[in-house]
Every structure is written in structure tokens, then in C-alpha cells.
Structure 1
Amino acid sequence: MTAFVRRQWSDLEGWDGADHALAFSAFRASAERLAAGIFATGTLGVDASTYDDAARAAQALSGEPREAEAKACFERHFVPLRIVPDSQNAPLPGFVTGYYEPVVAGSPVRTERYRYPLYAPPPDLVKIDDVSRPPGVDPYFRFARRKSCGLLEEYADRAAIEAGALEGMGLEIAWLADPVDAFFIHIQGSARLAYEDGRQMRVGYAAKTGHRFTAIGRILVDEGELTLAEADMDGIRGWLAAHPERMRALFDRNRSFIFFRETPVEDPGLGPVGAGTVPLTPLASIAVDREIATFGVPYFIEAPDLVIDGAPFRRLVIAQDTGSAILGPARADIFVGSGEAAGSVAGRIRHPADFTVLVPPKLAARLLR
């Protein structure tokens, strides 16, 4: 069982420089849905309904707050609780990775150059839970295929889909020139596509087949193809470029397959809309385990070995997205931004971290019992 340990603001190394104003903007983006009770409370017990006052205060504050004003607002409405997962005795019991929004050339129609599709969810794909999950299906599965007879079964995996399982269904929403770009868009869960006519379009996560995610970088390390230090995104891309004949077999070992939805590019300075239904803010939005965590909630994450912009990562961030590989109460994917430079940073983030969740005082009293 996850434990919570009461902390003081002075206990949080780096709290005074945590970029509270940026985090406040991200928190305010989620405030309306948080105050309206739209976000479900995860199994960690961070009750969304207790954030009403803080969410309304964020909505009421006009303009962009100064750093000191934003910091005071967080300190007035919350108390910090360190998250200690069950059986975790390490000094830093959590873990962070990074993700970003790729920006790649694409086409809304198939051409000789653009031949690799991104798909919308199929009509026979349905969400399942512990009640509706068929007997014998892995409890990990949150999606399944509804057969014509009404029964449910596992959906086709990556290998079957890439071999043509969805052809003829008209589900293609965009086409790419490079299968490696397509694969990494599946890993990141979103992308910004630049069409040849000058238009830009975003694609974001809509659903998945339900199969477990398998990191191909981990496979390459385990099989001696790359060292752990080499297995960042740049290293993996380099390996794929050197071994094109082995690419498809490696990709198929990650049976997970993502389906997408299209969204317009309204603010190029912000990221795609995350699962929390707000645009992601670079270095202030995180993806969390949606079964455990609660969207819209602030966290202070300390990852002293992770250096970004010349400083150890000690920042205030907001839970606004999710990912199939993000599992556990002290686990997050940090949204770094859009484009190649952000991708280089995101691809090397694999660091132990300390997680402190910010909760209203009345909730803190309940969680510390």
C-alpha cells in the first residue's frame, strides 16, 4: 500500500525556484474541469472533489500571475505529501521518463511518397473494465474487439495490423513517409504533421488495442545490440538506420498499437491536448497512470540527476496526460515540448525521482490517518 509522508515547504529542495508561474498556468488550464468534478479520482485516493477551492481561486485570478503570486497561491491552498510506494526503500523511489510532440512531414492522402498510415479507432474497438473483461483476457487489457455475435476478444496486435488487418475500413487519417517516424509517433502518442500545402494538423491518442507496451530500446539492450547509455531515441534511430532488414520484426515485438484523432494546431507554443483534455505545457505537464492518479493535480518532482537547461530537475508540474507505459503511483512522463530539440532531451530522460503530491489540507488529514 502506498504511504504518504507529510512534508514542509522548506523540505522541498528547489521549491523556491520551481517555476510556479508556468505551473500555475498549466493548473489553471485544468481548473474548470477540476472544479466541475469531471476528473475521476484515481485509486491513490487523491480526491478530485477536494480541489474545488483551489481550482476556483485559479480561475478567479486575472492575467498571468507573477512568480511570487503563483507560489503563494500554491502554498495557501495545498500541503505537500511525499509519495512512498509499497516496498520501495530507495532514497528516490519514483521514476521519470520524457516524451515530446514529433513534428514530421505528412499527407492527408496516400501518395507514392507517403505510404505509412496513422489510424482512427476501429468501430469494433470497445473499452472494457473488470466487469466486462472476458474470462482469460489479461487484466491489463482496457480495450477489446466486439465480434459480430456480440462477444469480446483481444484485438489484433501490431504485427497483424501492419500486415493488413485494418485495410479497407477507411480508418486512415494521415500518411507518413517514414515507418520509423510512424512507430515513434505511436510511442509518443501524438505528433504535429506538416502537409505540403502549408497546413499543419495534430494527431493525438484516441485509443489502443490493449496489448502490453514493450520498449524496443530495452530489447536492444537485453540482446546486446546497444548499451543502456546508447539506448536513447537517437541511439535507437541510429540502430534502425543501420539494420533496416530487422526493423519490422523488432517493431512487431511491441504488440501495443495506438489509434489517433485529429485536432487543429491552435497555439503552436503549447503541446497537443492530453488525456486530461487541455493543451500540454512544456516542462509543466506530466503523463501519469490514469488508474492511480487524478488529472489536474499538482506534483513537485525532484530528479537531481536529471539536468535540463543546466539545472537539476526540481519542478512543479501538473498531471494532464497518461500513457500505457506509465504505471505506478510515483511514475511520470515529463512533456518536454515539440520538435527535434525537444525529442533529443525527452529521449534521454530515464531517472530516479522523488514525488510529492500537493493536496488540500482537508484531504491531507484523511490520507495521513
Structure 2
Amino acid sequence: MIAALRSAFLAGVVMVAGPPSGAETTHTVLEYDSLDGWAADDHSAALSVFLNTCGDLDDPDWRALCALGREQGATGARAFFELFFRPVLIEDGADPLFTGYFEPELNGARGPGGPYKYPVYKMPPEAREAGQWLHRRDILTSGVMEGRGLEIAWVDDPVELFFLQIQGSGRIRMPDGGTVRVGYGGANGHSYRSVGRELVRRGLFAAHQVSAEVIKRWVRANPAAGADLLFHNPSYVFFRELKHLPAGVGPLGAMNRSVTTLRSIAVDPAFVPLGAPVWLEKDGKDPIRRLMIAQDTGSAIKGAQRADVFFGTGDAAGRAAGRLRDPGRMVVLLPIQRAYALAPDGL
């Protein structure tokens, strides 16, 4: 779910286009020597990430490959992929587009006081039962949440809290040096309305100027108008505390397993099976040639050549993820029989 929420924001800022209506999906089986940079990658690292989630795959061919993968040593990883998978280029007529996402870190405390004024809420039972509940403005201004013990923590920045809801997962640093990890716990049932588009509509920025950092700066520079701008989005996300998620691993992706920095991607499962290895050739500045694993999804991640790369945790990861919007190519590694069944002409 984390990419789903963040991708809804992305769609509003950069106005990502989906595949052309009625476009035919094609499948082409490739050779490994046609994958740019394949031999130079760390296949053992990719195999380790693959093994994190392959045990959750139900189909017999995937289960068999997962079992075989667990028997491989570090030196056998490349041979494992080359022997049991075939690279398949899946295209739907849309231009390839690769973006990034991350896990934010906020400053907070277990209780209110000093700068810690803004609560991170659990989902109230009536909101879960309602399907569609109160708007963001009513949740934060009507007092409906107060005095009920629904606060997980309190943070020092309402703008960062807003973007934590967009990412859907994050870490809250406590004054004593500890960390509280939170993940998606539900929402009020209202669709996201882009605050970036609203800034453009008001004539304050051109569409190409709007980014998460631009929105943050504008809201902080205009506190009253900024608070009203955030209310433009009626969607509100609640959280749950992830008490048993180790500090050294990433947030939970769509497979309910931790995603891994620069090895996990969010994909469109209509084209790419969750858990599948994906060879990514991202062009543009700082090219990427790397074997990733499809372990997440996103509401704006639509199409056969569309993916979001997980960049890790914290501000530096957020800046790197925010800069990424590049073309390229991705190739899905599928079990041999499945690959040739999709692309019989590739035999």
C-alpha cells in the first residue's frame, strides 16, 4: 500500500499517462547477452531479495524455483537465474517511465509537548466500518479524534505528517534515540486530490515546477494558506505501529514483506507478477542497470514499462527518489515454460 498512496500523489504532480487505450500487449523472449550490464551485476544480492518473498508465491513453477533458489550459494546466483528463467520484454505501447519512492523519517514523541503538536492517528472503529468517513478537514478540526487514545505518537511538522500519509509508511525518531515504525492502517475512503495541481490551478506555479519539496516550502512559507491547501485533499490515512519490524529492514510492500533499497520495485501486477525478478535499465542521469524484484504496487504504477524504485529511508533517499523520472527499459524474468507460453514465437 505504501506505493499506492505515494503514487496517487505522483500522478497528480507529474500527470503520469497510462498505456494507450486498446493497445496490444506484446511479449518478446530475449537472450541474457542482450541485457545491458547483466554480467556486471551482483546477482547474489538480487537472489537474496527474491528469496524474501518467493515463499509466498502460490503457483507450482514459482514454488519449485524458490526451493531451488534456497539451495544456491553466492557464486551460483547468476547461473540460477540464467538456467531457470527467460528474460521477457513486455510492452503495451506506452513509453517507459521509472520513478522513485522512499521511507520518510520524522521527529516525534510518545506524547504531546513542546514542538510535538501533531498526532499520528490509529484508525477509529467507526471509520473502518463506514467505508467512507469524514473529510480530512473534519477529522483534524472537529475534535472527533480527541480523548480516545488513538494517538500512536506526536510529531513536530504537519507538512511532513501530510507527506508521511502520502508515502504510507515511515519512521518516527523519539527524543531518547528510539524509533517508532508505522505502516498503513486504513483510510477515510475519500480519493486523493492533488495539492500540486491545486497550486497550478491557482496560478502559483507551472506544472513542471511542482514537486514535493516545492509544496513543502510553499506551505511552510504560507502557514495559514498552506494549512488550507492541505485540506484541499479530503483523503486521510491512518497508521498502525509496526512493533516487530526490525530497524535494519525496509518498510512493508504489497507482499507484506520488507522492501529492499535499490533492489525492490513497485510494478503493475496486471503485467508483472509480484515476486518476479525484473531487469531494470534506467537511462537518464545516474543510469541504473540492476536486477530488481517486483515486491510492491502503486495506484499510478500502470503499464508494462512502468516501475517505482525503492530508494531507502530518510531525507537523502527522499531527495534521490524525488529526482527520478527517467526512461529506459525493464525486462521480466519468468520461469521458462511460462515465458515461452506468453511468447510462443520466441522458441
TM superposition score normalised by structure 1: 0.77
Query: 1:71-86 residue pairs with structure 2 within 5 A?
Result: 71-85=78-92
Q: Indicate the larger mover: 330-339 or 219-228.
A: 219-228
Q: How far apart are the structure 2 equivalents of 1:22 and 1:224?
A: 47
Query: 1:131-210 residue pairs with structure 2 within 5 A?
Result: 145-146=129-130, 154-164=132-142, 166-168=144-146, 169-210=148-189
3-state DSSP class of the match of 2:329?
strand
Match of 1:362 among 326, 337, 343: 337
Maintained 8 Å contact 1:326/1:333: yes
Cα shift readout 1:313-337 (whole Å, capped 9, x = no counterpart): 2221112223344334432221101
**Partner in structure 2 of residue 107 of structure 1:** 109
Letter in 1 for 2:315: E
Q: Indicate the larger mover: 11-20 or 98-107.
A: 11-20
Cα shift readout 1:147-169 (whole Å, capped 9, x = no counterpart): xxxxxx53333333233475145
Query: 1:161-310 residue pairs with structure 2 within 5 A?
Result: 161-164=139-142, 166-168=144-146, 169-221=148-200, 223-227=202-206, 230-264=209-243, 267-289=246-268, 293-307=272-286
Matched, 1:13 2:24: no
Q: How far apart are the structure 2 equivalents of 1:170 and 1:239?
A: 32
Distance 1:124 1:17, change over 3 A: farther
Q: Indicate the larger mover: 292-301 or 279-288.
A: 292-301
Cα shift readout 1:217-274 (whole Å, capped 9, x = no counterpart): 3443565434556433333322222222222232223333222221247544431222
Maintained 8 Å contact 1:207/1:259: yes
Letter in 2 for 1:20: H
Cα shift readout 1:21-60 (whole Å, capped 9, x = no counterpart): 32222111112222xx2xxxxxxxxxx5431222112223
Maintained 8 Å contact 2:282/2:328: yes
Letter in 2 for 1:21: S
Q: How far apart are the structure 1 equivalents of 2:255 and 2:28?
A: 27
Cα shift readout 1:114-145 (whole Å, capped 9, x = no counterpart): 2212222332455xxxxxxxxxxxxxxxxxx5
Maintained 8 Å contact 1:95/1:331: yes
Dislocated runs of 4+, deviation >6 Å: none
Greater strand share, 1 or 2? 1
**Partner in structure 1 of residue 291 of structure 2:** 316
Q: How far apart are the structure 2 equivalents of 1:166 and 1:177?
A: 21
Letter in 2 for 1:333: D
Aligned residues: 320
3-state DSSP class of the match of 2:55?
helix
Distance 1:95 1:223, change over 3 A: farther
**Partner in structure 2 of residue 141 of structure 1:** none
Greater helix share, 1 or 2? 2
Match of 1:58 among 66, 69, 78: 69
Q: How far apart are the structure 2 equivalents of 1:114 and 1:253?
A: 24
Any stretches of 5+ residues in structure 2 without a counterpart?
1-23
Q: How far apart are the structure 1 equivalents of 2:142 and 2:41?
A: 48
Q: Indicate the larger mover: 153-162 or 357-366.
A: 153-162
Letter in 1 for 2:65: A
Q: How far apart are the structure 1 equivalents of 2:69 and 2:143?
A: 47
Q: How far apart are the structure 2 equivalents of 1:339 and 1:265?
A: 20
Matched, 1:120 2:122: yes
Match of 2:316 among 332, 341, 366: 341
Distance 1:21 1:228, change over 3 A: farther
